[in-house]
Chains A and B, each alone.
Chain A
Amino acid sequence: MHEWALAEALISTVISVSKEEGLKRIFEIGVRIGELQDIDLEIFKFALMQLRPDYLKDAEIKFKIIKTKFKCRVCGHEWSPKKDELDESIREAIHFIPEIAHAYLKCPRCGSIDFDVIEGRGIWLEYVKGR
């Protein structure tokens, strides 16, 4: 259930941004979620509902899921891993620490373990709309 930890992180970031920007009411929050994080969106949304303070109660939270994209540093090949191809325990490990992908995945073209995650990791606060 580390969706709760990430939901807490998101709420904490929104609170700090709201303070910085002097926003008293928030209407909309834009969140970008990397697919590699393999977040259970229902649990994440539920955790957000439970954790958010009163002044965020009416805010609409919009989620944008970013597809995972890897790029091999050796041969330059770009690819997106297919979820179904990964063993459940590996998916679980990557869910907690996305960089664990480096322990289990290889470039499908040249077999190298030297690849970058160029898209699809992390949780980002993209914007806060309010006044």
Chain B
Amino acid sequence: MRSPNRMKDYGSMSKEPEDVRLSVIDERIKDVKNIIAVSSGKGGVGKSLVASALSLSLARRGYRVGLFDLDLTSPSTHIILNVGETQPIEDKGIVPPKIHGISYMSITYYSGDHPTPLRGQEFSNALIELMAITRWGDLDFLLIDMPPGISDATLDIIRFIKRAKFLIITTPSKLAFETVRKLIELLLDLHVEIIGIVENMKLKKSDFIKINMDKLGVRYLGEIKFDEDLEEALGDVDKFSETDFFKKIEEIAEEILKTLASGAQ
């Protein structure tokens, strides 16, 4: 028999206790083929609208699609898609409900319409918790609607989902471009794959974004004109699908599929 001094006592002295949730994040997304983080350095550029429309467009093409609203303090996809009274199913974790053919998860299932202020570490904790307990199952695409900026959410997704690819949204504005440029530089620096950029809310002809994307080596996936009818279509998926915005997203979805099929950039 081995002597008792061979017994190892992990964690008693030198090691920090392990956060057990981190060990199952990969397991929860192991059957998801493509993970797309819809992101921007700037708020209000249409990330949630693009993420919602793209999810619908891909689902209607027959792909199995999930949409994870990671804008934990300011979620909005539940309004765009009008998720109503649906609830996640509890089954050895939580299984996202199907909304218009999309497996959908949002913090609003738990926070309701209450403001949920979260500081950095708390944001990370909520994100880890959701990722550890949500069972996405078999999916062709999981789209993540990211909050704006390059703080906790972006860093956490890069840290926990190494194979996430970024779809970047901007407007024609120099102000949006300035923050988007920083996001792109960060992603390139960290060797994170960028699928391409979508220029939203275009009001007049300009090559400013396209020229700068060419310089940065980021694929320009298309432009979407400012759509005056979009606001009225929010919450009504049939109306939403008839907007010029949505039709343009259908074309961009085609470009994204081609880009992914060719191995992105």
Contact = CB atoms under 8 A, between A and B. Distances in A.
A131 B11 contact: no
How many chain A residues sit at the interface, stated as a range, is 35 or more
A83 B9 CA distance: 35
B21 A129 contact: no
A30 B24 contact: no
B6 interface: yes
Nearest to B123: A99
A122 B90 CA distance: 19
Contact of B2 (A9, A12, A122, A131): A131
A116 B119 contact: yes
Interface string A18-37: 00011100010010100000
A97 B23 contact: no
A114 B135 CA distance: 31
A127 B11 contact: yes
Interface in B77-129: 90-94, 107, 110-112, 114-119, 122-123, 125-126, 129
Contacts of B126: 97-100
B21 to A, nearest CB: 5
B12 to A, nearest CB: 5
Given A2-B93, A126-B11, A12 B129 contact: no
B7 interface: yes
* Interface residue tally on B, bucketed by range: 35 or more
Contacts of A27: 7
Given A102-B116, A116-B119, A97 B24 contact: no
Interface in B55-93: 90-93
Contact of B20 (A1, A10, A100, A102): A10
Contacts of B20: 6, 9-10, 12-13, 123-125
A123 B23 CA distance: 12
A32 B18 CA distance: 10
Contact of B7 (A96, A100, A126, A130): A130
A100 B110 CA distance: 7
B27 interface: yes
A56 to B, nearest CB: 14
B133 A6 contact: yes
B194 to A, nearest CB: 30
A121 B223 CA distance: 45
Contacts of B9: 127-129
Contact of B8 (A4, A8, A114, A129): A129
Contacts of B125: 98-99, 121-122
Nearest to B108: A103
B7 A97 contact: no
B19 interface: yes
Given A96-B133, A99-B129, A125 B11 contact: yes
B228 to A, nearest CB: 34
Given A103-B114, A125-B18, A12 B27 contact: yes
A65 interface: no
> What 4 A-B pairs have minimum CB-CB distances, sorted nearest first?
A5-B93, A4-B92, A127-B11, A103-B114
Interface of B: 2, 6-12, 17-24, 27, 90-94, 107, 110-112, 114-119, 122-123, 125-126, 129-130, 132-133, 135
Given A12-B23, A122-B21, 17 more contacts: A5-B24, A5-B93, A5-B94, A6-B21, A6-B133, A9-B20, A13-B23, A17-B10, A30-B11, A97-B110, A99-B116, A100-B116, A103-B111, A103-B116, A122-B125, A125-B11, A128-B9
11 contacts: A1-B93, A9-B24, A12-B20, A98-B129, A99-B123, A99-B126, A102-B118, A122-B19, A123-B20, A126-B17, A130-B7
